[in-house]
Chain A
Amino acid sequence: MFMELTPWLPALFGLGLATMLLILAFIVACEKV
């Protein structure tokens, strides 16, 4: 079961990380406002 789900798990894990990194970038954007 775990192996069958491997494509989904890292994709969603990456999606979460990417969103958090986007939020980090928002800090920089706010500084530039």
Chain B
Amino acid sequence: MWQVWLLPALIVVVSVLLSVPTGFYLAWIIDGRYKPPRWLRLVETRLDTGPQNWKAYAVALVLFNLVLFVVGFVLLSLQSVIQFLNPDSKGMLAPTTIFNTVASFLTNTDLQHYSGEQHLSYFSQVFVIIWLMFVSAGVGFCALAAVIRGLRGDPHMGNFYLDLWRVVVYVFLPASLIMGVILMAAGVPMTFDGAQKVAPLEGGEQTIARGPVAALVPIKHLGTNGGGFFGANSAHPFENPNALTNFLTCVNILIFPMSLVVMFGRLIGNIRQGLVIYGVMLSLFVVMIVWGVRWDTLAPNPAFTGLPIDQGLGNLEGKEMRFGTSAGATFSAVTTAVTCGSVNCMHDSLNPLAGLTPMSGMWLNCVFGGKGVGLINLLFYLIIGVFLAGLMVGRTPEYLGKKVEAREMKLAMLALLVHPILVLGPTGLFAAKDWGNKATNNPGAHGFSEILYEFSSASANNGSGFEGLGDTWGFASQTPEDKSAPPPYPYSRQWDIATGLVMLLGRFLPIIAPMAMAASLARKKHTPFTSGTLRTDTATFGFVLLGTILLIGALLFLPAAMLGPVAEHYGPIPFGK
């Protein structure tokens, strides 16, 4: 039985060990201490528009994304017209699928209301999907760099364009190239030839989809993007061929979000501050994995109770046995803790309580979290923790020598409340209407979980799907009247538009408010450290921070959890009857 813990333990230990040198490397890059070759320096000089205050930085960030939205929308709209890299003649996508896909990849969410091998040309995969995977990951990273500069009291937030260039070219590109070569050696395809027709032994003809998969998969994980080349994502043997690639995938997902905490400590010149945050995040992460494995790999599937099925290996429904029995539950914790969204098992098939693991990862959204934004999310929990602890012990709340006052608290609360509003509001609306009830594959509590999961994933910019929802329209030609093609799901338009808007708002609002908060702190006079200062670099404060996260998280999301996974766990079988 101990063997089920081997994979999760190995993933955590290796990722933690690698995160230290990687964090130091990231700090070196983001602080501009790396001296690139002359031709790259020329590019940097052209991109550097000078130091930006928080508003200029935020405006540059949003305007850059607005341009990406326009370009992505136009390119996807023209998919059927662009014959370049379209060997399988993919047609035009439905308008709401285009809107949802662009919003999804622009925001690093990668929620997929389409199936890559079925609906996208190679041109769309390369010039919309992969391109957005690189820059959207870079944007989150830049936002964190700006916040850190504010917290350490820099007179300006840096330069957005220069930061983005450095992150994409000096971090993501080399890392993706190395990982791409490893994946190709493991058998992941990298070709622009169209799908292959083969004759299987039982006769007939089988179409095997392929494409530039090895170009997409590394940045899918390193950038905590998560959108698969294939609909089955990392459960597909062409994306994740064996147990070794599965292990490497998990490390790839974790490495940068973990390293960013080390980078934070390094950049603010106080590694202990980073260590406290790292400890809190790691504790939550380990609990998430243990909970998932305990309730899925070490528990039988309740739906099979009484049937002549040996459940000694736990709940095997929806799992890929190539990776090992605990790989699905472990992956579900990894991919949702850091808002990656890649999947190697079907989350809809997790046992009800194990389903809480991915959901809580997305609800808290700060257990290492997405590239850059996870740590930003934790920082506003931290500011709230500092404020509460300061009130409790009667000391002026301070963080990094700057007083935390009303303005910072308002901005922190603003950033904090966006996420639950975007999750719970639309979930309530869709659960009350046919848009939700008639789109779910399951009745009762499990159906509610499918709706709740979808909006949690969209708002947290995670992108994984619980699945079981009818939310795909696909090609524009797939109208209900067209009997030659599978009809679109009746409420796919509502899902496309609603989750598209949630992703856009859930991405940028919680980035902007903390930037304003960091700039506000930067403007304040440094308060000298005295015996009356509330220390934030101790284990005691780590417990305060942990308590703040758990308390706020429980207050916001526990009622919804009761209606979904918990009700399902205690409910009758078959569920929801």
Chain A: residues with CB nearer than 8 A to chain B?
Answer: 1-2, 5, 8-9, 11-13, 15-17, 19-21, 23-24, 26-27, 30-31, 33
> What is the minimal beta-carbon distance from B154 to any residue of chain A, in angstroms?
18
- Does more than half of chain B's interface fall in helix, strand or loop, or is it mixed? helix
Does any Cβ of A come within 8 Å of B73's Cβ?
A: yes
Contact B516 A5 (CB under 8 A): no
Distance between Cα atoms of A24 and B505 in the complex (Å): 11
Question: A12–B309 Cα gap in the complex (Å)?
Answer: 49
Residue from B96, B476, B504, B515 within 8 A of A20 (CB atoms) = B504
Task: Write out the residue numbers on chain A whose beta carbons fall within 8 Å of the beta carbon of B411.
Answer: 30, 33
Contact A8:B516 (CB < 8 A) given known A16-B69, A23-B505: no
Task: Answer whether residue B59 sits at the interface, using C-beta atoms and an 8 A cutoff.
Answer: yes
Docked complex Cα distance between A24 and B513 (Å): 12
Query: A17 vs B68: C-alpha distance in the bound complex, in angstroms?
Result: 11
Contact between A9 and B95, CB atoms less than 8 A apart: yes
B472 to chain A, nearest CB (A): 16
Known: A1-B476, A30-B513, A33-B516. A23 touches B95 (CB 8 A): no
A17 CA to B414 CA in the complex, in Å? 23
Contact residue among B98, B497, B508 (Cβ-Cβ distance under 8 Å from A23): B508
Contact B102 A27 (CB under 8 A): no
CB distance from B538 to the nearest CB of A (A): 30
Q: Could you say which residues of chain B place their CB within 8 Å of the CB of A27?
A: 55, 58-59, 62, 512, 516
Report if A2-B92 is in contact (Cβ < 8 Å); known contacts: A24-B62, A27-B62.
yes
- Is B92 touching A12 in the complex (CB atoms < 8 A)? no
| In the complex with contacts A26-B509, A27-B62, A17-B407 CB distance below 8 A | no
A29 to B103, CA, bound (A): 23
Q: Which residues of B81-139 have CB atoms within 8 Å of chain A's CB atoms?
A: 81, 91-92, 94-96, 98-99, 102-103
* Residues on B with beta carbons closer than 8 Å to the beta carbon of A24: 59, 62-63, 66
**How distant is A8 from chain B, measured CB to nearest CB, in Å?**
4
Question: What's the Cα separation between A19 and B66 when bound, in Å?
Answer: 10
Shortest CB-to-CB span from A31 to chain B, Å, is 6
Given contacts A1-B477, A17-B66, 15 further A-B contacts (CB under 8 A): A2-B81, A5-B92, A5-B94, A5-B476, A23-B62, A23-B504, A23-B509, A23-B512, A26-B508, A26-B512, A27-B58, A27-B62, A30-B414, A30-B512, A30-B515
Q: Kindly provide the distance from the CB of A14 to the nearest chain B CB, expressed in whole angstroms.
A: 10
Contact A33 B66 (CB under 8 A): no
Residues of the A chain whose Cβ atoms lie less than 8 Å from the Cβ of B516: 27, 30-31, 33
Main SS of chain A's interface residues? helix
Would you call A31 and B55 a contact (CB within 8 A)?
yes
The answer to whether A33 and B95 have CB atoms under 8 Å apart is no
Could you pull out 19 A-B pairs where Cβ atoms are within 8 angstroms?
A2-B80, A5-B95, A8-B95, A12-B98, A12-B99, A15-B497, A17-B66, A19-B504, A20-B65, A20-B66, A21-B66, A23-B504, A24-B59, A24-B66, A26-B512, A30-B411, A30-B515, A33-B407, A33-B410
- Check B271 for interface membership: any CB of A closer than 8 A: no
When the two chains form their complex, are residues A1 and B407 in contact, meaning their CB atoms are under 8 A apart?
Answer: no
The answer to whether A15 and B99 touch (CB under 8 A), given A5-B476, A20-B69, is: yes
Residue of B nearest to A19 (CB): B504
Chain B residues within 8 Å of A9, by CB = 77, 95, 98
B20 at the interface (CB under 8 A from A): no
Contact residues in A for B407 (Cβ distance below 8 Å): 33
| B85 nearest CB across to chain A (Å) | 20
For A16, what are the chain B residues with a Cβ–Cβ distance below 8 Å? Answer: 69, 73, 99, 102-103, 500, 504
Q: What is the CA–CA distance of A1 and B77 in the complex, to the nearest angstrom? A: 12
- Residues on B with beta carbons closer than 8 Å to the beta carbon of A33: 407, 410-411, 414, 516
CA separation between A29 and B530, bound complex, in Å?
Answer: 35
Question: In the complex, what distance in Å separates the CA atom of A33 from the CA atom of B519?
Answer: 13
In the assembled complex, which residues on chain B have CB atoms less than 8 Å from the CB atom of A20?
Answer: 62, 65-66, 69, 504
A1 proximity list for chain B (CB < 8 A): 80, 91-92, 476-477
Nearest 9 pairs of A and B residues by beta carbon: A8-B95, A30-B516, A12-B99, A20-B66, A23-B508, A19-B504, A27-B58, A9-B95, A33-B410
CB distance from A26 to the nearest CB of B (A): 6
- Chain A residue with Cβ nearest B501: A19
| Distance between A28 CB and nearest chain B CB, rounded to angstroms | 8
Cα A30 to Cα B70 with chains together (Å):
25
A23 to B103, CA, bound (A): 14
Among B91, B95, B477, B504, the one with the most A-chain Cβ atoms within 10 Å of its Cβ is B95
The answer on a CB contact under 8 Å between B96 and A8 is yes
In Å, the complex CA distance between A26 and B512 comes to 8
Q: Which residue of A lies closest to B508 (CB)?
A: A23
A17 to B102, CA, bound (A): 12
